[in-house]
């Protein structure tokens, strides 16, 4: 005899479907975290530290990819080794979790591994996003010796496609070799990143097989951003292609390889809880920010470094001061009022306005794009 009356699921969950509990819990945690930054809490509270600080360490690159977001800013100088080490001291006191570098090609900075090793000894986890071109056996060993926690290698298709996209006939072989070497050296978190475009969407199934053969456990899929050379390339996915990408993830995630979408695809409407374990909102000003090439702090490496996007300069103020006092437009979510669509949107507290960079090309509202 049942001790409790059996309740029909429709009475407990009006939609009749079990909620995605993992997702709902993550959303609750995220909402609580965001409230720590709200205006109401600002006056008296110290803001929690960012979890990730990204360092856009150089704009120099040894490739010229068709979808690259690198804009044409030129810098008379990059932060010097001692300057970035001073900044790392501040990040360490703040208890930032992760310090990750991007570019350009970060390994073109001769002092990169010295800086990463310093960050590690200051108690920060470190990460690097690279095209893999410079990773031979000796470089892989040096990356291991610098205690780099996470390495992300870009791979945008099978050999011919990747080489065409990257404008270099050696780039595929070298990227695959880099994955093999870093696997051999047991980098704790090795992942592959693929920018899915009209040029490579037809081969992501075969690419998955290749990654399985290489022993890759984590695969980040993202879409092209409307910035830099990508603006002219016209390789963005249309809504049908986006949906087939979501289907691909739904069918293949966690089958030998964890597949996840990069955060420039924020709220996905009906697809959100089918292919994500938690909400993906733009982390600028809450979880993350970016140190630019010459020490200006902005939200994200994909944003152009302009007067409008800068929150302060590390040549004038400490990182702690900039983090405590900047980023108001993101923390106030001004966009949810300023954008008439967002203001009326029933999902605005799931989405929070989408990716700021995609917004520049009117591609931020995946929900509207799909419906």
Contact residues for ligand SF4, defined by CB under 6 A: 263-264, 266-267, 282-284, 300, 302, 341-342, 345, 347-348, 351, 353-357, 364-365, 367-368
Residue closest to 230 by CA, chosen among 54, 363, 55, 56: 363
**Residue nearer to ligand SF4 on the CB measure, 143 or 227:** 227
- Is 129 strand, coil or helix? strand
**Shortest distance in whole angstroms from residue 313 CB to ligand SF4:** 20
**Residue nearer to ligand SF4 on the CB measure, 172 or 246:** 246
**Shortest distance in whole angstroms from residue 51 CB to ligand SF4:** 12
How far is it, in rounded angstroms, from Cα 296 to Cα 212? 40
Count the helix, strand and coil residues of the chain and give each as a percent rounded to the nearest 5: 40, 15, 45
**Shortest distance in whole angstroms from residue 361 CB to ligand SF4:** 11
Note whether 211 and 219 are within 8 A (CB). yes
Helix axes of 204-214 and 239-252: crossing angle, nearest 10 degrees: 30
- Is 176 strand, coil or helix? helix
Q: How far is CA 212 from each of CA 243, 248, 268, rounded to the nearest angstrom? A: 23, 15, 27
**Residue nearer to ligand SF4 on the CB measure, 211 or 355:** 355
**Shortest distance in whole angstroms from residue 110 CB to ligand SF4:** 28
Both structure tokens of 226: 């409307």
What are 312's strand-pairing partners?
297
**Residue nearer to ligand SF4 on the CB measure, 208 or 220:** 220
Those residues with Cβ within 8 angstroms of residue 31's Cβ, 6 or more apart along the chain or in another chain: 349
How far is it, in rounded angstroms, from Cα 161 to Cα 200? 7
Those residues with Cβ within 8 angstroms of residue 11's Cβ, 6 or more apart along the chain or in another chain: none
**Residue nearer to ligand SF4 on the CB measure, 182 or 268:** 268
- Angle CA 333–337–236, to nearest 5: 75
**Residue nearer to ligand SF4 on the CB measure, 122 or 150:** 150
**Shortest distance in whole angstroms from residue 243 CB to ligand SF4:** 16
**Shortest distance in whole angstroms from residue 121 CB to ligand SF4:** 28
**Residue nearer to ligand SF4 on the CB measure, 15 or 371:** 371
**Shortest distance in whole angstroms from residue 193 CB to ligand SF4:** 13
């Amino acid at each position: 005899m049942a001790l409790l009356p059996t309740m029909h699921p429709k009475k407990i969950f009006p939609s009749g479907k079990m909620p995605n509990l993992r997702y709902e819990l993550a959303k609750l945690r995220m909402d609580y975290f965001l409230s720590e930054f709200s205006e109401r809490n600002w006056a008296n509270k110290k803001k929690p530290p960012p979890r990730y600080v990204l360092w856009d360490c150089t704009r120099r690159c040894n490739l010229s990819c068709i979808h690259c977001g690198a804009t044409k800013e030129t810098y008379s100088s990059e932060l010097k080794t001692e300057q970035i080490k001073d900044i790392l001291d501040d990040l360490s006191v703040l208890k930032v979790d992760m310090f990750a570098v991007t570019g350009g090609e970060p390994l073109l900075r001769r002092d990169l591994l010295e800086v990463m090793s310093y960050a590690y000894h200051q108690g920060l986890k470190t990460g690097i996003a690279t095209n893999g071109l410079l990773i031979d056996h000796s470089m892989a060993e040096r990356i291991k010796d610098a205690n780099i926690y996470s390495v992300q290698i870009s791979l945008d298709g099978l050999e011919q496609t990747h080489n065409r996209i990257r404008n270099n006939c050696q780039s595929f072989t070298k990227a695959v070799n880099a994955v093999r070497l870093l696997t051999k050296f047991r980098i704790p978190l090795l992942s592959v990143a693929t920018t899915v475009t009209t040029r490579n969407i037809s081969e992501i199934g075969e690419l998955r097989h290749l990654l399985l053969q290489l022993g890759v456990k984590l695969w980040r899929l993202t879409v092209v951003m409307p910035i830099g050379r990508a603006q002219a390339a016209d390789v963005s996915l249309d809504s049908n292609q986006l949906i087939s990408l979501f289907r691909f993830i739904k069918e293949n995630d966690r089958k030998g390889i964890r597949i996840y979408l990069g955060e420039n695809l924020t709220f996905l409407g009906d697809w959100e809880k089918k292919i994500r374990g938690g909400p993906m909102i733009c982390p600028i000003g809450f979880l993350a920010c970016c140190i630019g090439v010459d020490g200006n702090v902005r939200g994200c490496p994909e944003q152009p470094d302009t007067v409008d996007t800068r929150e302060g300069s590390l040549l004038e103020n400490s990182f702690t001061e900039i983090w405590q006092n900047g980023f108001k437009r993101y923390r106030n979510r001004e966009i949810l009022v300023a954008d008439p669509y967002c203001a009326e949107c029933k999902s605005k507290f799931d989405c929070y306005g989408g990716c700021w960079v995609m917004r520049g090309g009117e591609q931020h509202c995946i929900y509207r794009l799909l419906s």
